[in-house]
Structures are given as C-alpha cells and as structure tokens.
C-alpha cells in the first residue's frame, strides 16, 4: 500500500548499496524518496525506523540537562561503521529535524530515517535556533561565527536491528560563553546597564563532525555587542586559547540622574583558555572611575532569547 506524503521531501537515495549479513541474508537501505508516480518508496521489511528525542546539557560534562526547546532545527547524520581500521565510515542518511514539542524531534516536511540492519555511528548538529544548522563537506563544517550557540552530539557503535528504535540525544555546547554580572562598589549607585561589548576570538574555524571539536582561536576580533538583561551581560563565542586579556567595555547609568559613564577593563583569560562547553561568570565591580574583576567561576549555561539577551536578569 502506498501512502501519499506532502512535498517537498528531504531524501537521500543510495542506489546499488547492499549489505550482506551472514551467508544468505540481504538487507537493502531504503531512505524515503520518490518512487514511480512521485510516491514515496515503502520501507522494506528488514529496515529500521529511527526516531530521536533531544535534550541540551546545561553544564559541561555533567548529567544536568533540559529538553530542547520547541522550534529548534537539527541536522542528523547516520554513518555506516567502517568494516576495518583502514576504511572510513560511510554516510548512509542525513535529515533535517525540528523539535515539534520540547525534546521531541520530527523530520522536516515529513522526513523519516530508515536504515538497514547494521552498526552505525550517529551525529547531530544544531545552532540552538530556528535556522538551519551549518553544512558539512565530509567531516568539516563551513566556517563558523561568534554569537551562535552551536550544539553537537555523537553516539558510535549503535546496533540497528529491530523494526523501530528511539535514540536519545544529549547535545553539548560546542562553543564557550562569557557572562558578566555588574555590581556597584563603594560610593556609587548604578541605575542601568546600558550596553556592553567584548573582544571575541577571530571567527572562521570549522567543526569536525565526528568529534564536535572546534579548534580554539589564538587572537581577537573587533569588539562585539553583548546581550544584556538587567545587570547581566553575556556573549557566546568560539573557543579561545591565549594569554592576552579580553577587553570589556561597559556603559552604565549612575546615581539615577540619566548620566551615562563608560568603563573599560582588561579581563584575564582563566588558565589561558575559554573551553568549549564551559560558561564563565565574571564579576565586574564598578568603583567610581574604574571597574575591577574580582572573581570568575564556571557555572551552568546562561539561557538566552533569540536576540542573545539573557532570559533572566541575574545568574541563577
């Protein structure tokens, strides 16, 4: 029986690919595509429907996580595992997904991932936003930018052998985050944080799909605007490795008189590196004519809205 499915459809068809299991069993990979009369091909009996649900890690290398928000796009890849150490894994399926409800991934425009029985490596990439994630040529992504919360996940040696399986995805933050909490020192009253800028790393690095690694930059780009909410400012940037300090510039309204003042300070990079997946909270204390950075710590990822502003005016 053929079922009509709305178009457009995302499909990857691999003609002539056959897998032999044991001495006689034969499995053919069918990825939904257009058959005769522009109708979708029906999956064969020995194929598996693979479904996914997704959460996002809130702190690097911990079990703290939350369901991925509704409306976020992700690209999922299924690679057939290499048969030997001298051969490479082979891309079998690639599909664009969107969270139809928190944590639930649905194929865009009705896409479904069907795989022949076998062992697969799965990868997923997102920019934690409603736009299409970065594209990859082989294992390398297109050049990446600051200000985007790139997410990555990978799971190797997945045995695909039943009629349907569900794979849980736990996305990790592939970039780093700088959060600045501004407070008043002695003899000054802060009314508002008007703006904040910081010097991010030079953009243009690429992510490796099999590892999720973005090589750290070693130099800075021009200052860029931070998102603010109350007295909290944040910026998501590509990983950084340098002993040179970042430049932070704050414009604040003081003493309730609508007068603004601008302060600049050099922020040391902790241990010479801002690591992927870590969110660094810097305390910035304004004292009259200067600003100091008395402390820095690694905290849970600060959630932001679509414009990059923190969702909450203080660090939870």
What one-character DSSP code corresponds to residue 40?
A: B
Specify the pLDDT at position 120.
96
Cα gap 32→4, rounded to integer Å:
12
Q: Is the pLDDT of residue 12 over 50?
A: no
Q: How confident is the model at residue 44 (pLDDT cuts 50, 70, 90)?
A: low
Q: What is the DSSP string of 2-23?
A: -----S-------TT-EEEETT
Which CATH fold topology does 176-299 show?
A: Immunoglobulin-like (2.60.40)
Calculate Rg over the CA atoms of the chain.
24
Residue 32, classed as helix, strand or coil, is: coil
Chain position carrying tokens 């399986």: 165
> CATH assignment of 18-173, given 3.40.50, 1.10.10, 2.60.40, 3.90.198?
2.60.40
Distance of CA 159 to the CA centre of its chain: 25
* Both tokens assigned to 172: 């990790």
Between CA 239 and CA 215 the distance in angstroms is 7
Mean pLDDT of 140-145: 98
Could you give the angle at the alpha carbon of 16 between the alpha carbons of 12 and 21, nearest 5°? 100
Q: What is the DSSP code (8-state) at residue 62? A: S
Domain ranges of the chain: 18-173, 176-299
Lowest-confidence region among 7-21, 121-135, 173-187, 267-281: 7-21
Q: What is the distance between the alpha carbons of residues 197 and 233, in angstroms, rounded to a whole number?
A: 9
Residue 235: per-residue pLDDT: 98
At 2, list the tokens: 């053929």
Predicted confidence band of residue 62 (pLDDT cuts 50, 70, 90) = low
Question: What mean pLDDT, rounded, does the chain reach?
Answer: 86
pTM of the complete model = 0.83
18-173 against 176-299: fold identical: yes
Q: How many CB atoms lie within 10 A of CB 162?
A: 9
Sheet with 290-299, side-by-side order of all strands: 227-229, 232-237, 176-184, 279-287, 290-299
Average pLDDT over residues 129-142: 96
Write out pLDDT tens, residues 143-173.
999 999 999 999 999 999 989 999 999 999 9
- Tell me the pLDDT tens digit for each residue of 244-287: 999 999 999 987 777 899 999 999 999 999 999 999 999 999 98
pLDDT tens, position by position, 184-200 = 998 889 999 999 999 99
Selection from 186, 182, 183 nearest residue 288 by Cα = 186
CA distance 259 to 256: 8
- At 10 the pLDDT is 39
What tens digit of pLDDT does each residue of 217-226 get? 999 999 999 9
Contact 171, 54 (CB under 8 A): yes
DSSP assignment, residue 140? E
């Amino acid at each position: 029986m053929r079922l009509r499915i709305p178009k457009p459809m995302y499909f990857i068809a691999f003609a002539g690919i056959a897998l032999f299991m044991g001495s006689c069993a034969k499995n053919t990979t069918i990825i939904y595509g257009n058959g005769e009369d522009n109708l979708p091909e029906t999956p064969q009996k020995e194929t598996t429907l693979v479904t996914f649900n997704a959460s996002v890690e809130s702190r690097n290398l911990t079990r703290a996580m939350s369901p991925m928000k509704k409306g976020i796009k992700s690209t999922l890849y299924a690679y057939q595992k290499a048969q030997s150490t001298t051969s490479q894994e082979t891309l079998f399926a690639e599909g664009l997904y969107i969270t139809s409800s928190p944590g639930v991934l649905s194929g865009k425009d009705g896409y479904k991932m069907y795989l022949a029985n076998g062992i697969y490596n799965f990868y997923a990439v997102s920019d934690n936003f409603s736009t299409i994630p970065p594209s990859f040529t082989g294992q390398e992504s297109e050049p990446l930018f600051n200000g985007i919360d790139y997410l990555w996940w990978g799971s190797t040696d997945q045995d695909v052998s039943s009629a349907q399986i569900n794979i849980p995805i736990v996305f990790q933050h592939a970039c780093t985050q700088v959060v600045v909490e501004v407070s008043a020192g002695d003899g000054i009253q802060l009314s508002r944080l008007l703006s904040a800028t910081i010097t991010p790393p030079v953009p243009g690095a690429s992510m490796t799909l099999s590892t999720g690694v973005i090589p750290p930059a070693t130099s800075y780009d021009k200052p860029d605007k931070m998102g603010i909410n109350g007295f909290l400012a944040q910026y998501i940037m590509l990983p950084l490795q340098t002993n040179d300090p970042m430049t932070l510039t704050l414009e604040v309204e003081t003493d309730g008189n609508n007068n603004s003042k601008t302060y600049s300070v050099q922020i040391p990079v902790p241990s010479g590196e801002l690591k992927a997946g870590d969110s660094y909270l810097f305390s910035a204390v304004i004292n009259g004519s200067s600003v100091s950075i008395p402390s820095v710590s690694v905290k849970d990822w600060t959630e932001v809205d679509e414009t990059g502003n923190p969702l909450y005016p203080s660090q939870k």
